[in-house]
Each structure stands twice: as C-alpha cells, then as structure tokens.
Chain A
Amino acid sequence: MGGENVQDAFRKAVQTELDALYRTACRMLFDRVEAEDAVQETLHKAWRNLHRFTPGAEMRPWLFRILNNTCLDHLRARARRKNVPFDAETADMLGLESEERRPDEFAANLQLGRRIEAEMAKLSADHRAVVQLVIVEQFSYEEAAQTLDIPVGTLRSRLSRARASLCAGLADYLHSEGQPEPGRTPARLRLVK
C-alpha cells in the first residue's frame, strides 16, 4: 500500500468511522463540543502521522487508539484545571448527585439515556474505553487490547468489572431473559454540559 493508498484508506475511514469516533468521544468526555474537538484532533494527528501507519493494517484500531489517548489528555487537562481527579470531574460534568444523596425514585425516573450516562460516569476512563470498544463498537478482545495497548487479560478483567457495575446500575432495564424491559425504548443519548 503506497502513500496514496494510505491516504485513500484514511479518507475512507473518515467516511465510515466518524460516527463511531464521535460517539466514543462523547462517552469518554460527556461533552459534545469537547467530543468534536477530540475527533478533529484525532484525525489531524492521524493525517499528520500517516507515514507511520503500517501499510495494509486496519485503519480503524489505529484511529481509535489515537482517539482514546486524545480523550485521556482532555480529561487530564480538565482535571488539572479544577484540581480534581478526572473521573470525579466527569461525574461533576454530568451534574450527578452522589449515590448516597440521589433518591431512588429520582434515579428510577431518569430516562435510559441519562441512566446510561450516569452509570458510565461511575466507571474510570479506562473502563469506559473498554466498554465502548468491546461492547458498543464490537472490537474483538485482541483488537481492543491492541488499540488500548494493554494485555488481553487486563482488558477482560476491566470489562468484567465494568459490566458488573453497569449490570448493577441498570438492573431494572435488563430483563431477566436477556431483553430490555418492554416499553423502555432506549432514548437518545443526552449530554449535559
């Protein structure tokens, strides 16, 4: 694959992966504007470093790897600005009350989209990235592990912990026979700045 073909592969990836990159950034950052910035930065870094891309390799994991690192940079910068751990910062961005202070009734009335955001925000950024790549974007374990530069065992462990937390938090949406509870149509992801 020559330089021109790598550029073509990149353009194709912009077409096919933009939505996935954007929604992953949204889930990592919980801020649409910042997610847009992260996607633009990601594509800019990738374009600038196309010469480092291995010809013949899949463009998708490479882009997601850059995106993940970019999102982590954003979260760290955000935390530095407020001098708080960046995972606490994401919960703050969502305007979430703590588990102790949140009345159960209020939590039950939150629509599914908001509930998912809330439960995702309880996870560390590393765990969110694993959930997003494996469950939402359906990367294989191996592909996700390579993308995040971690061993497969670590990935599986993080995924398992994240799932346990999400299953507990979303239990009332997870029908016992494996289907969402009837009448609870997934709502559009709503982000609160």
Chain B
Amino acid sequence: MTTGKPVIELEAYVDGECSLDDSVRIRAELEKDAALAKSAGQLDALNHVLRAEAEAETAPDHLRAAMSAKYGVPTEAQAPSGWRGRLGRRGFLFGAGSALAAGVAGVAVVSGFQGLGSQPETAVETFFHDFETYLAKDKSIDIAETSMIRLAEWYGSRLPFELPPVGSSAKSASLIGGRLCWLLERRLASLSYEAPEGSMVLYIMNGDGIAVPEGQEDPSIGRSVSWHRSSGNTSLVWRSGELLYVMVSQLELRRLMSVARELLG
C-alpha cells in the first residue's frame, strides 16, 4: 500500500474517512505490515505537526475587536474563538451516568416537534440529519474501536471538553467506534453503537448556547429528558452539567431508553 489508490485509502483511514468495513480491513493490514504502519504513522505525524503549528496562530486582538464592533458581536458573551482548547478543558465533575439513569425514567412525551420553538427544533433536527447521513454513508467512522477507554484516549485533546464516562456495551448494543463531528458550530464526540435491530449514535458536546426542547423534569436529579421522532428514528436529548447529550437511534423508544440507562448508568 504505497502507491496510487492504496495510498489514498491509507490517507482516508488516517483522516477518518473510511467506511467501517474499510477501517477494519486497513487496521488489520496495519497490524501485519510494519512498513505500512510506518507510513500511516508518518501521515498521522504530519497531521499532528501541521495542526499543532497552526494552533498557535490566533487572530490579532485588534482584528477581533474591529469585527466584533462592526457586526455587533456582543463582547460580554464573546466566546473564545476556535475550537482547540479555548473553551477550557472542564472536568466532568459529576456522573452523567446517574443523571441519565434517573433522567431517562422521567422522559417527556413530545410528539414530533409540535410546540417547539424553531431554534430547539433546528438543533434536534441537526442530529437526526447527521444520523441519517451517517447511515447513508455506510456508517463511516473516524476510528473503529470497541474499548471505550481507548476511544476516550483517542478523543483526548481533540475535544474542547473531557469525555464523560460512558459504557461500551448495554443490552446487546455494542460500541463500534467514534467520529469527531462539527455540528452546531462546535466540535463534538459521536459514539457509534450497533444493536441487533439497528444503529445508535450518542453525541456529546458542550451545551453552551444550544437551545433544546424542554423535557420532563426529574425532581430527583433536577434534569429533564425529551424524546423525538423523525423519519422512523428516535432521539433522546438531555443535559448534564455543561454537557449536552443527544442519542439518536433506529431502536424503538423503550429499547433506546433501556440501553441509554445502562450505558450511562
């Protein structure tokens, strides 16, 4: 795998642009072929060097101030720009698991998007849309991984927040890997699971500035969860601390809730 199409395949693997099947195949080849692994390592190192170098380059303060003033960007709400580390690496100090374990039990009954404001609707639709794209693209993922520990290591500094504890399997649904997504103008983790009856993706992100539909409050934990349906898929949405969780799946609601409780419990 050193010339022509195979090189492009290897590059796609390093860039997380392979289908699941190709990722598994290339990963197996890498384990057997030291020269190939070295090539992949060089490509990955090149990515790392270029990103690290660029990270230090930020817009001058006077440019930021001028643009903020010109376009009416509220300075008091001015978020640190860029996605790498500038949102702050906030530790996840309390268990998302227990939050969901209790929170899902108090799920709000929302029929479609009725009664929701346009912005929350857009936010939830964004994840349905990404999930449908994910399915349409043959469940292409950035990294094929069944260990949540290793997957969390992979996400590492790629996320502007610390990935909270999440299980790798529950009720016959198993982790198959992850993607690094850019949705709603932020970097987020997208964990892929497969169950006998369909696929499931858990999106985890910093929830600042994202309006989502209100669900039913669970007094025991002070959080609420809402569920939604679109094109035969189901989603659960909830917040825990500063993080927003969106779980989208082909599974039916009760099954999805059951899996969610166990994964986050």
Binding site for B on A (CB under 8 A): 1-2, 5, 9-23, 26-27, 32, 36, 39-40, 43, 47, 56, 58-60, 112-113, 116, 131-132, 134-136, 138-141, 143, 156-157, 159-160, 163, 166-167, 170-171, 173-180, 186-189
**Interchain CB contact under 8 A, B118 and A14:** no
> Of B59-67, B148-156, B224-232, which stretch is located at the interface?
B59-67
Q: Is the CB of B43 within 8 A of A22?
A: no
Q: Number of contacts between A and B (CB, 8 Å)?
A: 160
Q: Which residues of A lie under 8 Å from residue B73 when comparing CB positions?
A: 11, 14-15
Within 8 Å CB of A11, what residues of B?
71-74
User: Chain A contacts of B46 at CB under 8 A?
Assistant: 135, 163, 166-167, 170, 174
Are A131 and B50 CB-contacts (below 8 A) given A5-B119, A16-B81, A16-B82? yes
Asked if A186 and B81 make an inter-chain contact with CB atoms under 8 angstroms apart, the answer reads: no
**Contact A43 B182, CB 8 Å, known A27-B54, A135-B47, A188-B57:** no
**B66 partner residues in chain A, CB cutoff 8 A:** 40
- Residues from chain B with a CB closer than 8 A to the CB of A5 are 118-119
Number of residues on chain B facing chain A (CB within 8 A): 51
> Complex Cα distance A178/B46, Å?
8
Q: Which of B7-15, B108-116, B246-254 contacts A (4 or more CB under 8 A)?
A: B7-15
Q: Of B7, B8, B59, which is within 8 A of A18 by CB?
A: B59
- B67:A18 contact, CB within 8 angstroms: yes
B3 to chain A, nearest CB (A): 10
Q: Is the CB of A186 within 8 A of B56?
A: yes
Task: Give per-residue flags for B118-140: 1 if the beta carbon is below 8 A from chain A beta carbons, else 0.
Answer: 11001000000000000000000
Given contacts A39-B59, A135-B51, contact A10 B71 (CB under 8 A): yes
Residue of B nearest to A134 (CB): B15
Contact in complex: B79, A15 (CB < 8 Å): yes
Judged by a CB distance under 8 angstroms, whether B258 is at the interface is no
Residues on A with beta carbons closer than 8 Å to the beta carbon of B63: 18, 22, 36, 39-40
In the bound complex, how far is the Cα of B86 from the Cα of A157, in angstroms? 33
A23 x B81 contact (CB < 8 A): no
Given contacts A22-B63, A135-B50, A186-B53, A12 and B209 within 8 Å (CB-CB): yes
What's the minimum C-beta distance from A154 to chain B, rounded to whole angstroms? 12
Q: Is the CB of B71 within 8 A of A60?
A: no
Residue of B nearest to A189 (CB): B57
| Nearest B-chain residue to A47, judged by Cβ | B71
The answer, yes or no, to whether B58 is at the interface (CB within 8 Å) is: yes
Asked if B58 and A22 sit within 8 Å, CB to CB, the answer is yes
Residue pairs across A and B with Cβ atoms less than 8 A apart, 27 shown, are A2-B118, A9-B185, A12-B209, A14-B67, A15-B81, A16-B186, A18-B67, A19-B82, A19-B86, A20-B83, A22-B57, A23-B57, A36-B60, A39-B63, A43-B67, A59-B185, A60-B182, A116-B53, A159-B11, A166-B46, A174-B46, A175-B41, A177-B38, A178-B42, A179-B41, A186-B56, A188-B57
Q: Which residues of B contact A32 (CB under 8 A)?
A: 60
Residues of B within 8 A of A138 (CB): 51, 180, 182
